[in-house]
Structure 1
Amino acid sequence: MDTTTDCTPEVLRTRMVDQIVGARATSAPVEAALRAVPRHAFVPEATLDQAYDVDLAVITKRSSDGTPLSCASVPSLVATMLDQLQVASGDRILEIGAGTGYNAALLAHLTGPTGQVTTVDIDPDVTAGARRTLDATGHRDVHVITRDGALGDPERAPYDRIIVTVGAWDIPTAWTDQLAPGGRLVVPLRWRGQTRSVAFTHDDGRLVSDSVELCGFVPMIGQDGERSGPIDADGQVMLYWDADQPIDPAVLQGVLDQPQHSVWSGVTVVANEPFDGIWLRLTSVEPGTCRITATPAAIESGRCDPAIPSRSPALVEDASLAYLTLRRHTDDGDERRWELGAAGHGPTGPELADRLCDQIRAWAHDRTAQPLITAYSAGDSDDQLPSTNTITKPCVRLTVVY
């Protein structure tokens, strides 16, 4: 390990936790765990400064093409998800995704000597590394198991808490079955091209949310529910959508060459102000919500100009498309402002742009509002679900309601 730094691990760890606590509300038990567990011991490939960088994920394994396969998550996100989990002393906990073992060590600190922590990962290299580091740091009581995380660990079920530290596109039935009534599941769940850390409570066979936070994670192996394809001849503009959506990129070929209809919402944001809540709102009412990306060449040519080129929400309906965009507005004193709007293409592009702007305005009315997300079993009949937009996955059906 490169230890090039002017500070000791203890000083750097204190600084990291102080930054996390200063930026967001963190529970006292989670703060104590972050101060107690030496993160640098779990990421020996990183420098001390990297190990205690509050906003740095440390990649610990890559595929042959460089794609990240495992990592130590950003410390600030680790704190957020542990707060969502609401661990109590003595809890039985299942973690899906062993990573470096750092999160399991934090969980062991939170549960105390009367608790039980099990961490599961499909990759034997990952579990072997986690086992070694957990042993070396005094966490020998943590159970480390190599198996498909979708299966959970029925041998030690039921669990009071389940936390998933890989990106999940679905919620396997085993997780719900192994979660005690009233227990909590925290999962980085992906739908309609965006990922949220959702804290669910197990309520009469259903999972009901009470906390939703923006996040990003290495995807879980074996859950291939997202589709993608270009909508231009050069492959410079891509769409990403879910398997349950009737989106066909072939039908959309050339849509961006059709006249653009721009609609402006009158809603403005300042630099670095998050507006991801618009995307979340769209998933609650618009079945055609998906993700659009555009290369620098596509933007420079004027073909496509999404608000965030690498990840912006879009609406698709048959051969028509609208996507979130923005334009420079005015300077408000020392603050630069941008107005949010939508660009529509195709026969119903103008209507889609209007509908997207409706959701921009709804978001602006209460920018911190969180939806109620409910995960029903895929086997539940339609009359058991509210009459709202339903997101269908193999194991669960989601509703997102504001």
Structure 2
Amino acid sequence: MNTTAKPSPEVLRDRLIDEIVQNRVAGLYDPRVEEAMRAVPRHEFLPAVSIETAYANEAVTIKDNPAEDSLPFSCASKPDVVFFMLVQLELGPGDRVFEIGAGTGVNAAYMRYLVGPTGRVITGDIDSAVTAYARKTLDATGYGDIEVLTRDGALGAEELAPFDRIIATVGVWDPSPAMQEQLTPEGRLVIPLRWRGLTRSVAFARQPDRLLSDSVKMCGFLPMIGQDGEHSGYVNDDHLIRLFWDDDQPIDPSALRTAVSQPGTVAWTDTTVGPAESFDGVWLRLSATEQTTCRITVKPAAIDVGLHRPAIPALSPALVEGDSMAYLTLERITTEEVAEPRFRLGAAGYGPAGGTLAERLCAQIRAWGSARTAEPVISLFPAGTSDDQLADGSLIEKPSARMVITF
């Protein structure tokens, strides 16, 4: 019989926050956010899972999606991502904040702690089952004064605006007018912004003519329901190779059927990485320089029959033009006996223009290699802003915003 006592929720919570603070995955820290996450009992917002699961540094699904190759409908976000996004938000005592995506309610509770007794927290979700869940957990944990609204978060809450802060805990492809206009003149917006197949938590400060980023960090979030500007499709009928692209990109996956059935070519660079070193900045640079940038997902069966392995098979950047494509790849360049392996980065090309696309991708690998920690500046201008009023950089058109990325 095992009589070893299990750690208490408080001990497990402190261990989790200790890990987050020590690792600082996005390099961001605020002692007030640490205090809030130590004070709020996350496990009480996840009563259906074990205490150990509640305090693991992992996302927890609270509503599944039965469709093939689909993400869940709703999740509790990874705690370390919650931490750095709250740091990006820069909440202060007395702030009024609107959250898009109610989730379990725990993020609203953290924010309630941060804004203090004179602040106000409103959280909303388009799914009535999600808002009912959040309302129940918030009431049960002593946060009954947090307002929970069932509505499309992209519309904001005009009757309660303006807000000092707005945060989204769902992936936003099109930053709506409400996200831009319902902020105070000195307000901040933090959203998991989606473009060209990638997602970044971007913190924006409101300027007179635009929203201007001051922090861009890697993250992953479920997409916001009702934003239909992202598309996906399989290259062939066996569903082993899938592309993800934006509404403004003329990409047809089926045009690549012939290309992927033939041997490809690989171009290599001298840029190398270690096993724990992120090279995700390559994707960011591609999105700012190549209008054909998208995402490729490859299942192991495709690699088993000869397709070059993408750098990360589940999500790697690709360039697609007509019947040709190239995507990021890597290979080990040290022997098995070396304790700290190194990998060089390159690009695999397919189709008539595959070699040219691979070389263009390699050019951005090299640019990243010489400035690995550089973050772009992202400007969101209202739709309809004239070209002469835009910042210098690469322009990506969204229905509600003109997005400019500048390195």
Q: Is the 8 A contact 2:202 2:217 kept in 1?
A: yes
Residue 12 of structure 1: SS of its match in structure 2? helix
Structure 1 position 111, deviation (Å): 0.2
Q: Is the 8 A contact 1:231 1:254 kept in 2?
A: no
Structure 2 letter corresponding to 1:187:
I
Which residue is equivalent to 1:58? Answer: 60
Residue 334 of structure 2: SS of its match in structure 1? strand
Q: 2:358 aligned with 1:356, yes or no?
A: no
Which residue is equivalent to 1:254? Answer: 258
Q: 2:394 aligns with which of 389, 395, 400?
A: 389
Structure 1 position 313, deviation (Å): 0.4
**What whole-Å deviation, never above 9, does each CA across 1:9-34 have from its counterpart, x for those lacking one?**
11111111111111114201101101
- The 5 Å alignment of 1:217-296 reads 217-232=221-236, 234-296=238-300
Which residue is equivalent to 1:174? Answer: 178
Which residue is equivalent to 2:156? Answer: 152
Which residue is equivalent to 2:114? Answer: 110
1:282 and 1:102 map into 2 onto residues whose CA distance is 35
* Residues 67 and 308 of structure 1: CA distance in aligned 2, closer, same or farther (over 3 Å): closer
Q: 1:200 aligns with which of 198, 204, 214?
A: 204
- The 5 Å alignment of 1:3-402 reads 6-24=6-24, 25-53=28-56, 55-65=57-67, 67-232=71-236, 234-331=238-335, 333-402=338-407
Structure 1 position 333, deviation (Å): 4.5
For normalisation by structure 2, the TM-score amounts to 0.94
Q: Is the 8 A contact 2:392 2:404 kept in 1?
A: no
List gaps (5 residues or longer) in structure 2. Answer: none
Residue 44 of structure 1: SS of its match in structure 2? coil
Please say which of residues 146-155 and 329-338 is displaced more in the overlay. Answer: 329-338
2:399 and 2:105 map into 1 onto residues whose CA distance is 30
Residue 132 of structure 1: SS of its match in structure 2? helix
1:148 and 1:71 map into 2 onto residues whose CA distance is 17
Residue 102 of structure 2: SS of its match in structure 1? coil
**What whole-Å deviation, never above 9, does each CA across 1:39-78 have from its counterpart, x for those lacking one?**
011000111111111x211111123448511121111110
Structure 2 letter corresponding to 1:94:
F
* Residues 213 and 387 of structure 1: CA distance in aligned 2, closer, same or farther (over 3 Å): closer
Structure 1 position 348, deviation (Å): 2.2
* Residues 113 and 78 of structure 1: CA distance in aligned 2, closer, same or farther (over 3 Å): same
* Residues 5 and 234 of structure 1: CA distance in aligned 2, closer, same or farther (over 3 Å): farther
Q: Is the 8 A contact 2:308 2:329 kept in 1?
A: no
Structure 1 position 235, deviation (Å): 3.1
Structure 1 position 287, deviation (Å): 0.2
Q: Alignment length, in residue pairs?
A: 398
Structure 1 letter corresponding to 2:6:
D
Structure 2 letter corresponding to 1:30:
V
Q: Is the 8 A contact 2:392 2:406 kept in 1?
A: no
Q: Is the 8 A contact 2:71 2:222 kept in 1?
A: no
1:87 and 1:157 map into 2 onto residues whose CA distance is 16
**What whole-Å deviation, never above 9, does each CA across 1:261-306 have from its counterpart, x for those lacking one?**
2110111111132111100110000000001111111101112421
* Residues 244 and 335 of structure 1: CA distance in aligned 2, closer, same or farther (over 3 Å): same
List gaps (5 residues or longer) in structure 1. Answer: none
Q: Is the 8 A contact 1:278 1:360 kept in 2?
A: yes
**What whole-Å deviation, never above 9, does each CA across 1:346-377 have from its counterpart, x for those lacking one?**
23222211111111111111211110011111
2:98 and 2:236 map into 1 onto residues whose CA distance is 44
Structure 1 letter corresponding to 2:48:
E
Q: Is the 8 A contact 1:163 1:187 kept in 2?
A: yes
Residue 253 of structure 1: SS of its match in structure 2? helix
Residue 330 of structure 1: SS of its match in structure 2? coil
2:331 and 2:384 map into 1 onto residues whose CA distance is 45
Structure 1 position 330, deviation (Å): 1.4
Residue 342 of structure 2: SS of its match in structure 1? strand
2:320 and 2:71 map into 1 onto residues whose CA distance is 29
2:353 and 2:370 map into 1 onto residues whose CA distance is 26
The alignment's C-alpha RMSD in Å is 1.6
Structure 2 letter corresponding to 1:27:
D
Structure 1 position 233, deviation (Å): 5.0
1:303 and 1:144 map into 2 onto residues whose CA distance is 48
**What whole-Å deviation, never above 9, does each CA across 1:75-128 have from its counterpart, x for those lacking one?**
111001000000011101000011111000000000000101100111111111
Residue 110 of structure 1: SS of its match in structure 2? helix
1:228 and 1:137 map into 2 onto residues whose CA distance is 40
For normalisation by structure 1, the TM-score amounts to 0.95
Percent identity over the alignment is 56
1:11 and 1:375 map into 2 onto residues whose CA distance is 43
Structure 1 letter corresponding to 2:357:
L
Q: Is the 8 A contact 1:270 1:338 kept in 2?
A: yes
1:267 and 1:232 map into 2 onto residues whose CA distance is 32
